[in-house]
Amino acid sequence: MRLATWNVNSIRTRVDRVTDWLERADVDVLAMQETKCTDAQFPSMPFAALGYEVAHVGVSQWNGVAIASRVGLADIEIGFAGQPTWSSKPDVEAAAEARALGATCGGVRVWSLYVPNGRSLADPHYAYKLDWLAALRDTAAGWLGDDAGAPIALVGDWNIAPTDEDVWSTEAYLGHTHVSEPERAAFHAINNAGFTDVVRPFTPGPGVYTYWDYTQLAFQKRRGMRIDFILGSPALAARVRHAEIGKDERRGKGASDHAPVLIDLDDQPGDTTQ
């Protein structure tokens, strides 16, 4: 099975690019983030034409996560237990944002995750981000506690560069979010809960990024960050035989500012999805 994640930065704007890549890359399951649309607005027909079922949660032009699968889409779950709520306005009740969606695809439990940005170290959104990650860690650890052999993939835009080699310049990000020690500690806590970065062994070294800002020719100047990850449970990590970052999808007119990330999984006994 080939599993991928991609922050598409508005699926309605980029549906043709996304479905074209799905077909060319022969992807079985794609988790998407930052779809920026409501459920009613999601362009499901182009995916259906290629044989994909789609689950999506989105409530406005912000956030939004989806999973497209051609190997089954079962046990769909919106949000994870304990997911924190958020409101930027004192007169608006806090609610869980459209940032987490789970489904079982080809026997793998896939979670499409769009971790809060944090905005700045002094912003309340930063504390919300850390709370969100802590809740995810606790819940995900519980999943493995219930079934240590479960194949689980936590995938998406984590909005964290967990090591210095994951940013083009540590000086440029000094005092900013994405690289702060509390954020990195929160990311590594999820690693310590049993979820491994299964892509890095196949894409090692500095200068390997998944995101490049639209401004100041960041992509052309190789000024990027590695912030999109696939973290696998032990059972899933043991099945990974290949991984890559689709950097070429960042090129050209109308590209997302993120590149897709994918892995290939060996079959389980009795698995006929490949």
How many CB atoms sit inside 10 A of residue 81's CB? 11
Contacts of residue 15, defined as CB under 8 A and 6 or more positions apart, other chains included, come to 43, 46
**Residue 197 is among the residues annotated as catalytic for this protein:** no
The residue behind tokens 């409101």 is 87
Rounded distance, CA 196 to CA 237, Å? Answer: 7
Q: Does 188 count as an annotated binding residue? A: no
Does 34 belong to an annotated binding site?
yes
Per annotation, catalytic residue among 52, 56, 228, 258: 258
Catalytic residue among 52, 114, 126, 209: 114
**Rounded distance between C-alpha atoms, residue 189 and residue 274, angstroms:** 33
Q: Does residue 211 carry a catalytic annotation?
A: no
Say if residues 71 and 106 touch (Cβ distance below 8 Å). Answer: yes
Task: Confirm or deny that 7 is annotated as ligand binding.
Answer: yes
Of the residues 157, 166, 197, 228, which is catalytic? Answer: 157
178 is in an annotated binding site: no
* 157 belongs to the catalytic site: yes
Residues that constitute the known binding site: 7, 34, 157, 159, 257-258
Catalytic site residues? 114, 157, 258
- Binding site, annotated residues for Mg(2+): 7, 34, 157, 159, 257-258
